[in-house]
Amino acid sequence: MELGVIGLGRMGQIVVDRTLEAGHDVVAFDLEPEAVATAADAGAEPADSVADLVDRLGDDKCIWLMVPAGAAVDATLEELEGHLDEDDVVVDGGNSYFEDSVRRAESTPAAYLDCGTSGGPAGAHLGFSLMVGGPEWAYDELTPVFDAVATGPDGHERMGPAGSGHYVKMVHNGVEYALMQAYGEGFELLHEGRYDLDLESVASVWNNGAVIRSWLLELCEEAFREEGTDLGDVADRIEGGSTGTWTVQEGLEQEVPLPLIYTALGERFGSRADDGRFSRRLANRLRYGFGRHEVPRRE
Amino acid sequence: MELGVIGLGRMGQIVVDRTLEAGHDVVAFDLEPEAVATAADAGAEPADSVADLVDRLGDDKCIWLMVPAGAAVDATLEELEGHLDEDDVVVDGGNSYFEDSVRRAESTPAAYLDCGTSGGPAGAHLGFSLMVGGPEWAYDELTPVFDAVATGPDGHERMGPAGSGHYVKMVHNGVEYALMQAYGEGFELLHEGRYDLDLESVASVWNNGAVIRSWLLELCEEAFREEGTDLGDVADRIEGGSTGTWTVQEGLEQEVPLPLIYTALGERFGSRADDGRFSRRLANRLRYGFGRHEVPRRE
Amino acid sequence: MELGVIGLGRMGQIVVDRTLEAGHDVVAFDLEPEAVATAADAGAEPADSVADLVDRLGDDKCIWLMVPAGAAVDATLEELEGHLDEDDVVVDGGNSYFEDSVRRAESTPAAYLDCGTSGGPAGAHLGFSLMVGGPEWAYDELTPVFDAVATGPDGHERMGPAGSGHYVKMVHNGVEYALMQAYGEGFELLHEGRYDLDLESVASVWNNGAVIRSWLLELCEEAFREEGTDLGDVADRIEGGSTGTWTVQEGLEQEVPLPLIYTALGERFGSRADDGRFSRRLANRLRYGFGRHEVPRRE
Amino acid sequence: MELGVIGLGRMGQIVVDRTLEAGHDVVAFDLEPEAVATAADAGAEPADSVADLVDRLGDDKCIWLMVPAGAAVDATLEELEGHLDEDDVVVDGGNSYFEDSVRRAESTPAAYLDCGTSGGPAGAHLGFSLMVGGPEWAYDELTPVFDAVATGPDGHERMGPAGSGHYVKMVHNGVEYALMQAYGEGFELLHEGRYDLDLESVASVWNNGAVIRSWLLELCEEAFREEGTDLGDVADRIEGGSTGTWTVQEGLEQEVPLPLIYTALGERFGSRADDGRFSRRLANRLRYGFGRHEVPRRE
């Protein structure tokens, strides 16, 4: 089959490559001509605009968007608007907020599939995990592409109606924050604790048969192998947090407590408090207030 | 080589089976004659007491204890005491507290290896992950047995001196509590949330290529497959907690915050508050005190 | 001066009473005629509709709304709309969401003061703490009323522009959740712990000179005195949570971690999980999966 | 009556002063001669050694220890040992661990009262809150002294047998950590939030009638008044933590979850991680591993 791909960053390029490798045709566009050239080198037909990409696709167009979540998705959909009809299918493979996907599914003339994509750069070789929301017929139509982009037929599934793909991906990311923090606590304790341990070796033996083995733990093993058991000069300020924030907000909405995910998110926020945490500074002043403990001062 | 195994519960039996399958000889003892008979059926030489087991082993004895952590280990070591010398090796493969292992290593006449064992019943086929503490020569001597009982040569490693094997296993279990709770939060939100999702299908697609894929997530998939997407009649009172408690205590000792592990442990404690949480009951009375919110009463 | 009061529930009635006691005139209205009669008995001039109340007030009207947060405020403002001009002042003394107050301040023809009110029924005697947002001139104009309704001149303050009063009150309530939970944890530990303690006596001695003395701790003392040291038949399901939820949402927006407030809010959510916490039920099934721990089943 | 006081730091001096003011006699000793001189200036009879202090007291000696918790208490008791009999009473007014107090009560020849003391320097004027454990007759005998040192007869109470006084004080301190953190979260959100607020003014209006009013909130008000609304140069590294750690350990022992107290304690630990939190550094490396997010590096 034939797939148009808009957005040729690292992830979009992987979609192009895997789709081509599976024997399908790809028409590719990105605002960066170099990215289009890379896709063309891989075997895709280059397009020099969204309109051009649409023209090069036949009827019953299938278009995969792999652009940054937010305004870029809406801008692309706007450009596509006059060129789509109800037999076409648009896939949003980015990290969009699920309520945006519900809204876009309603306003887009084509069928709309929101597709949560997990696996990162490693997906280039293994394929991704794809969580898809939207109409069943559209999901069925895209199945050959999903088979190619995912790890295989087991690596994609229709979760439910519009928004459900990005909803499940949002929760996936919330869990991801908590898992990273859980491993981080364990390794922090081992690092600060009473034995002089080789953490790469710990991660390795855990990855061979232990209950907590996982892909993230393989990445821990890689981290200690490449950075050293004390993680060298890796700093502790953590950026990001949008999907975790959405997950916590949805927990508030559904009245489901998510203490681990919340705590993991809070670690990120706290890591960015460059002037020190106000709450801790107040605690120091209170400790003086009731106990005359000396107030530490900044130099 | 030749291995004595004391303690033939589910885990001890797997040690026997895997050691035999690797072509080694096993002498086996348990307080339950039936368990000894099972081991004998598998090819082990049966012993009818600890003393008898020791007699049947030659010089440079290697003995694997797989008895419940605590008093049973000390009782067994006491029975062994007169029969061991410094060329023998005792392995404690149970979930002992690491400070007990340090103490036992000092007081046992033989070399002592504390061996954290992870993998559960699935280890019967795959082999275990073994985290070993104690003298290097003893670890080397037992290597053929560790190769057999673990997933292979990568499935066991010497962590450091006495106690370090059970120390690393303790932290492993603390992390395990937090990982279970992290997945639990994600699935609880999906279960209570705004889409009607098939959680087995969610777990399955995540296990195929997603960042959070893991063995525990495979067990989640199995759980939903066997119990249904709403987990049927599984109750919510969680027993256990000793290794998690030890992990948190060690975090206090080392002044390392472990909020996720602590929270996961607290969920277990809280799940057993049969008369309701006192703190919540007080909150209800306070809400009446300052806001005249009606106090809910038990029937 | 003269004040119109709309909404004569427990809190509205206290506003009426304290304003009258300070020598001011009050015109009072409520949808419940009985509530109006009570206010009239106290010395207020009764009104039989919003329009009637407005008619009975002269120029430069001051009107205090004490109606439930949400739709009731908007409905009342709609009824008032044609009757107000820019020299009038409307006070919203309820627990409105601060963004609603910002919106209402923009759309209401009169000056608009959002007034967070704390102190509960005890405020009838002591007066309230009032956190006020809105135009300075309007705050100044209402000062005699605020002096009367608050504990006195120190019991009210203009926090800043529109919305700031309800914003500060929202955070006050978030802190309140955490304080209740903090005392709850302490008393729960004392209750479950190793001494047989009289908790009323503990609270009493703490309230006399201890660092943690507070009004909430006085309410704890009252709770144990009236319910007994084990809190009798008080149940543990906690209702409510809107202001706590708003506080956490604002923390997410501002990227400020609020782990204590979040945890206290989560206790409320968790207390309402009538069918058991899904996350705990999954943990039980996982413990079977990796360790063959028996799965507890509902009867 | 007559009281011996050993340990004349800030708190011990207050005990001396308040006991003298109530018309009792005091014999005072400290390792620092200057401290003894200060007590003598206030009207106490100076002693130049523990033995001398004992000699100056008659039969049925009452001795108040106000020395640092831990080794100093044991050392003082050892010095006292030969001089005490069963009609004497020793009070430990420090922050001793309750299990130490149980042990000391058993080994000391005199009656032993463990006396948790709260109120800090402010207690000089107001008197302290005293939580007392030990034999009833000894508590009764010391009542005149407790009346003087506490806020009055309501400011002291016998909690129960040996250890219970320090047990209740330990939990008091755990709650204190959580209360400080709860106020800290609220003020941090107000400080970082969307209004430009005067936090002294917020604390002041809350202290006048709001539900969350308390002595700690009065100390917050003082902090903002003296340091400014942004707390000036107060740093965010928080020392201390022993009583909080004991509280959490007891919670583990009793299987009572104390998430707020634990989190508040963890804030202290985390504030001292001078090289950055290891868990956060690992998270950064993992984010590179699965998402190629750039790894921040220390300069």
Among C10, C181, C227, select the one facing B283 at the smallest CB separation.
C181
pLDDT at A151: 97
pLDDT at C267: 96
Residues B43-84: tens digit of each pLDDT: 999 999 999 999 999 889 999 999 998 999 999 999 999 999
Amino acid at B230: D
User: One of B79, B176, B218, B267 is an active-site residue; which one?
Assistant: B176
Res. A250: pLDDT tops 90: yes
Residues D195-254: tens digit of each pLDDT: 999 999 999 999 999 999 999 999 999 999 999 999 999 999 999 999 999 999 999 999
Looking from the CA of B110 toward its CB, the CA atoms found within 13 Å total 25
pLDDT at A257: 98
Residues C248-288: tens digit of each pLDDT: 999 999 999 999 999 999 999 999 998 889 999 999 999 99
Q: How far is B84 from chain D (nearest CA, A)?
A: 36
Looking from the CA of B8 toward its CB, the CA atoms found within 13 Å total 28
DSSP A158-185: EEESTTHHHHHHHHHHHHHHHHHHHHHH
Across the beta sheet with A62-65, what order do the strands follow? A45-46, A25-29, A2-6, A62-65, A89-92, A111-118, A129-133, A156-160
The CA R_g of chain C, rounded to the nearest whole Å, is 23
Among C211, C241, C252, select the one facing A248 at the smallest CB separation.
C252
Nearest chain D Cα to C121, which residue? D211
C-alpha to C-alpha distance for A249 and A245, rounded to whole angstroms: 6
pLDDT at D33: 97
C-alpha to C-alpha distance for A292 and D18, rounded to whole angstroms: 19
B250 noted as active-site residue: no
Residues C35-46: tens digit of each pLDDT: 999 999 999 999
Class of domain D169-291 (CATH, top level)? mainly alpha
pLDDT at D124: 87
β-bridge mates for residue B157, sequence order:
B131
pLDDT at D173: 98
Nearest chain C Cα to D244, which residue? C186
The verdict on whether residue B67 carries a ligand-binding annotation is yes
Res. C299: pLDDT tops 90: no
* Residue B272: exposure state from Cβ atoms within 10 A (0-12, 13-18, ≥19): exposed
Res. D259: pLDDT tops 90: yes
pLDDT at D177: 98
pLDDT band at C122 (very low <50, low <70, confident <90, very high): confident
Q: Which residues of chain A lie closer than 8 angstroms to B193, CB-CB? A: 167, 171, 250, 254, 256
Domain boundaries, chain B: 2-161, 169-291
Q: Does D121 touch chain C (CB under 8 A)?
A: no
C-alpha to C-alpha distance for B14 and B39, rounded to whole angstroms: 10
C-alpha to C-alpha distance for C49 and C61, rounded to whole angstroms: 16
C-alpha to C-alpha distance for B60 and B72, rounded to whole angstroms: 24
Percent pLDDT > 70 in chain A is: 100
C-alpha to C-alpha distance for D198 and D213, rounded to whole angstroms: 17
3-state class percentages of chain A: helix first, strand second, coil last, to nearest 5: 55, 15, 30
Residues D168-192: tens digit of each pLDDT: 999 999 999 999 999 999 999 999 9
Residues A91-136: tens digit of each pLDDT: 999 999 999 999 999 999 999 999 999 998 888 899 999 999 999 9
Res. D280: pLDDT tops 90: yes
∠ CA C249-C253-C259 to the nearest 5 degrees? 55
pLDDT at A124: 87
C-alpha to C-alpha distance for A134 and A273, rounded to whole angstroms: 40
pLDDT mean over C151-180: 98
Res. D131: pLDDT tops 90: yes
pLDDT at C58: 86
Residues B174-216: tens digit of each pLDDT: 999 999 999 999 999 999 999 999 999 999 999 999 999 999 9
Nearest chain B Cα to D289, which residue? B211
Inter-chain residue contact D233 with A298, CB threshold 8 Å: yes
What is the overall mean pLDDT for chain D? 96
pLDDT band at C63 (very low <50, low <70, confident <90, very high): very high
What is the overall mean pLDDT for chain C? 96
Residues D73-113: tens digit of each pLDDT: 999 999 999 999 999 999 999 999 999 999 999 999 999 99
Res. B122: pLDDT tops 90: no
User: One of D45, D157, D176, D218 is an active-site residue; which one?
Assistant: D176
What would the two tokens of residue D131 be? 């939580």
Percent pLDDT > 90 in chain D is: 95
- B162 CA to centre of own chain: 18
pLDDT band at B299 (very low <50, low <70, confident <90, very high): confident
Residues B96-110: tens digit of each pLDDT: 999 999 999 999 999
Res. D123: pLDDT tops 90: no
Helix (H, G, I), strand (E, B) or coil at B189: helix
pLDDT at A49: 96
Q: What CATH number belongs to A2-161?
A: 3.40.50.720
What is the overall mean pLDDT for chain A? 96
C-alpha dist (Å) from residue C55 to A94, A147, C60: 59, 73, 12
Res. D120: pLDDT tops 90: no
Residues A54-90: tens digit of each pLDDT: 999 988 999 999 999 899 999 999 999 999 999 999 9
Res. D255: pLDDT tops 90: yes
Res. D286: pLDDT tops 90: yes
C-alpha to C-alpha distance for C95 and C77, rounded to whole angstroms: 16
Give the DSSP H or E segment for D157: strand D156-160
Among C249, C272, C290, select the one facing A252 at the smallest CB separation.
C249
Q: How far is A249 from chain C (nearest CA, A)?
A: 7
pLDDT at B68: 92
C169 noted as active-site residue: yes
Nearest chain D Cα to A292, which residue? D121
Inter-chain residue contact A155 with B208, CB threshold 8 Å: yes
pLDDT mean over C285-299: 93
Please check whether the two domains, D2-161 and D169-291, share a CATH topology: no
Q: Does A269 touch chain C (CB under 8 A)?
A: yes
What is the overall mean pLDDT for chain B? 96
- E-strand stretches of B80-124: 89-92, 111-118
Res. A299: pLDDT tops 90: no
pLDDT at B121: 82
C-alpha to C-alpha distance for A200 and A69, rounded to whole angstroms: 35
pLDDT band at A259 (very low <50, low <70, confident <90, very high): very high
- With contact defined as beta carbons under 8 Å apart, do B166 and B113 qualify? no
- B24 CA to centre of own chain: 25
Percent pLDDT > 90 in chain A is: 95
Percent pLDDT > 90 in chain B is: 95
Model-level pTM? 0.97
Res. C116: pLDDT tops 90: yes
pLDDT at A275: 82
Helix (H, G, I), strand (E, B) or coil at D31: coil
Cβ atoms within 10 Å of A207's Cβ, excluding its own: 21
Q: Does D213 touch chain C (CB under 8 A)?
A: yes
pLDDT at C275: 82
C-alpha to C-alpha distance for C193 and D167, rounded to whole angstroms: 9
Give the DSSP H or E segment for C186: helix C164-192
Inter-chain residue contact D252 with B263, CB threshold 8 Å: no
pLDDT band at A167 (very low <50, low <70, confident <90, very high): very high
C-alpha to C-alpha distance for B27 and B62, rounded to whole angstroms: 10
For CA atoms D102, D104, D110, D113, the dihedral sign is: negative
pLDDT at A92: 98
